[in-house]
Amino acid sequence: MWTNTPITKALDLLYPVIQGPFGGGVSSTQLVAAVSNAGGLGSFGANALSPAQITEVVTDIRAKTSRPFAINLWVMTEAEPGLSAATFEKVGGWFAPYYRELGLEAPKPPARFAQDYAAQIEALLEAKPPVASFVFGIPSKDVLQACRKRGIFTIGTATTVEEAEALEEAGLDAVVATGLEAGGHRPSFLRSAEDSLTGTLALVPQVADRVKIPVIAAGAIADGRGVVAALALGAQAVQIGTAFLGCAESGAPSVHREMLFQPEARDTQLTRAFSGRLVRAIRNRFMDDMTKHAADLPPYPIQNWFSGSLRKAAIEQGKADFLSLQAGQGAGLLKERTAQALMDKLVRETSAALNAISR
Ligand SMILES: Cc1cc2nc3c(=O)[nH]c(=O)nc-3n(C[C@H](O)[C@H](O)[C@H](O)COP(=O)(O)O)c2cc1C
């Protein structure tokens, strides 16, 4: 049976379907619980959360489901880059017309631009979720050992075969192989994201051939045909982002969720404009405007902080022009609007597609 894989066994799932985590505040405990209660693995992207918020989120998920779930963090091994007065003035100048348009005061530089990763890790270990997943690198030996000691199953994320091998070597329990079609950031960490653009169809079987840990396929999987293809390529589970982001339970602003079902969602691009890191999102005015500064953008998390205050106001004002409308190349396949309907459809279609092939 396709529902029986090393991943479903290890994580006690009914189906080898993982709802991909969404960072930047668009995860919701409702979606995580709905997917986990339906027999998949719900994931919460906690990269933007303070340690106290991570504790609250895990408590909230536990109140909504007794099934396994994952908490996801962005690995940060280096100190935050500094922001010189000259860069602040220059980048602030690019943003000034947008702040005016949205009726915002230009923000003052904060003490830190992103959350304290070490403190997030402490909160995660303390909260002991059944699964911890990571992007943008390899968690340290100490962190992985602490996870093992607490019975936390660990998942790393690779955009190349070499990254998958490095994650296995470090002792991660499973690896997501994420193709260039996927929505969200390209979480590359050995080479630049621009040099790590392999499609799902090519990446998954090569990773499956080179590592022994279970492989989870991600990137443009949105229906049963995609699940069957991923399993045929050697994956033991799929991780689906965009199709779950479109569900009513997701934390995406309604203007973003609605856009996923529109023809514009077929026009996605990879850009560093929003966060300073390469992300796949639906083309919009902010992305187009920023191309003229492409060679000069400050790195993550500085660019992310500049655009973050714009995004907050844009959500309140329902303006899609300034949102990071993250979406994968499979957006055109979206139909279902709730997590239960999507899970039901994936299970039904996967069984039907396998039957059709064997006939
Ligand atoms: C809005 C959005 C935010 C995302 N944030 C994260 C994140 O914080 N951590 C992570 O591991 N993956 C993140 N992803 C990637 C998804 O978890 C998933 O791997 C990816 O969306 C799968 O490709 P698909 O969108 O084609 O289904 C994000 C994806 C989207 C669409």
For the chain, percent of residues with pLDDT exceeding 70: 100
Segment 84-97, tens digit of pLDDT: 999 999 999 999 99
d(CA 54, CA 45): 10
Q: Specify the pLDDT at position 196.
A: 98
- Residue ranges of domains in the chain: 1-76+114-252+334-359, 81-113+262-330
Per CATH, which fold does 1-76+114-252+334-359 belong to? TIM Barrel (3.20.20)
Averaged pLDDT for residues 331-353:
98
Segment 148-179, tens digit of pLDDT: 999 999 999 999 999 999 999 999 999 999 99
Averaged pLDDT for residues 75-91:
92
77 pLDDT more than 90: no
Is the C-beta atom of 35 inside 6 A of ligand 1?
no
Q: Specify the pLDDT at position 309.
A: 86
53 pLDDT more than 90: yes
Q: Specify the pLDDT at position 208.
A: 98
Asked if residue 278 lies in contact with residue 253, where contact means CB atoms within 8 angstroms, the answer is no
Is the C-beta atom of 326 inside 6 A of ligand 1?
yes
Question: Residue 103, by phi and psi: left (phi above 0), alpha (psi -120 to 50) or beta?
Answer: left
Asked if residue 23 lies in contact with residue 48, where contact means CB atoms within 8 angstroms, the answer is yes
Q: What is the 3-state secondary structure (H, E, C) of the chain?
A: CCCCCHHHHHHCCCCCEEECCCCCCCCCHHHHHHHHHCCCEEEEECCCCCHHHHHHHHHHHHHHCCCCEEEEEECCCCCCCCCCHHHHHHHHHHHHHHHHHCCCCCCCCCCCCCCCHHHHHHHHHHHCCCEEEEECCCCCHHHHHHHHHCCCEEEEEECCHHHHHHHHHHCCCEEEEECCCCCEECCCCCCCHHHCCCCHHHHHHHHHHHCCCCEEEECCCCCHHHHHHHHHCCCCEEEECHHHHCCCCCCCCHHHHHHCCCHHHHCEEEECCCCCCCEEEECCHHHHHHHHHHHHCCCCCHHHHHHHHHHHHHHHHCCHHHCCCECCCCHHHCCCCCHHHHHHHHHHHHHHHHHHHHC
The number of beta carbons lying within 10 Å of the beta carbon of residue 192 is 11
Taking the CA of residue 20 as reference, the ligand 1 atom at the shortest distance is 17
Quote the tokens at residue 42. Answer: 């719900």
Angle 28-255-321 (CA atoms, 0-180°, nearest 5)?
120
To the question of pTM greater than 0.95 for the whole model, the response is yes
Q: How far is the CA of 21 from the centre of ligand 1 (A)?
A: 6
Per the document, the length of the chain is: 359
Segment 96-108, tens digit of pLDDT: 999 999 999 998 9
- Paired with 271 in beta bridges are 279
Residue with more model confidence, 77 or 167 = 167
Angle between helices 85-101 and 302-317 (to 10 degrees): 10
Averaged pLDDT for residues 1-20:
98
Is the C-beta atom of 336 inside 6 A of ligand 1?
no
74 pLDDT more than 90: yes
Averaged pLDDT for residues 25-44:
98
Residue 42: band (very low, low, confident or very high) from pLDDT cuts 50, 70, 90: very high
Averaged pLDDT for residues 112-117:
95
Q: Specify the pLDDT at position 15.
A: 98
Quote the tokens at residue 341. Answer: 């309907």
Taking the CA of residue 243 as reference, the ligand 1 atom at the shortest distance is 27
Average pLDDT across the chain, whole number: 97
Is the C-beta atom of 253 inside 6 A of ligand 1?
no
d(CA 143, CA 120): 11
Question: Residue 143, by phi and psi: left (phi above 0), alpha (psi -120 to 50) or beta?
Answer: alpha
Residue 112: band (very low, low, confident or very high) from pLDDT cuts 50, 70, 90: very high
Q: How far is the CA of 182 from the centre of ligand 1 (A)?
A: 7
